[in-house]
Amino acid sequence: MNQQTFSLQTFPTEEYLPDITITGNISRDHNRLTINYQLAGDLKQVVISSPADTPNRKDELWQETCFEFFLGIKNSQHYWEFNLSPTGDWNIYHFDDYRQGMQAETAFTKLPFRVQNQFDSFLLSVDIDLTQIIPPEQVLEVGITTVVKQTDNHITYWALTHKGTAADFHLRNSFVIML
């Protein structure tokens, strides 16, 4: 098993930043990927939507607070974007190349994950079998990100690293975790 911890950094901005941290861990055991996020701090500054009665696949989850991760196969331009909303709604997109050929990844019909909203932290955990899209012997390049919507409607962008002049989670040189 390959396991690593992470801490996300906000894209530099002159806007007011919430007093929060986003940390977690990621592991891959054969082809099972597990990611645990913890958003901690002054959660009164962050819009965290309540869980939906029935989580669904939805587009544009990044318009609100949304936990995301990107998976690419080493030496390939193809990659996937996974979006996980605190509501339980989700989506997975496949790209042929940098922001090219975006389409819903149909290999998954559901993406179960767990959320836990506590007084001073919000936890999100996802555990998925990648066999439907990635062979187990392939080395993964991973980018871990989060979009945070503040109560004043300002949006901040959090990632392992920010390689561009604008917040852009799709840049492959920001997929810095190897599993």
What string of pLDDT tens digits covers the 179 residues of the chain? 789 999 999 998 887 788 999 999 999 999 999 999 999 999 999 999 998 889 999 999 999 999 999 999 999 999 999 999 999 999 999 999 999 999 999 999 999 899 999 888 999 999 999 999 999 999 999 999 999 999 999 999 999 999 999 999 999 999 999 99
Q: Classify each residue of 51-73 as buried b or exposed e, where b means 16 or more C-beta atoms within 10 Å of its C-beta.
A: eeeebebeeebbebbbbbbbbbb
Q: What is the DSSP track for 24-50? A: EEEEEETTEEEEEEEEEE-GGGB--PP
Q: Give the CATH number, domain containing residue 40.
A: 2.60.40.1190
Domain count for the chain, please give it. 1
Rounded to two decimals, the pTM is 0.96
Parent domain of 25: 2-178
Q: For residues 59 and 53, what is the distance between their CA atoms, to the nearest angstrom?
A: 18
Q: For residues 130 and 140, what is the distance between their CA atoms, to the nearest angstrom?
A: 11
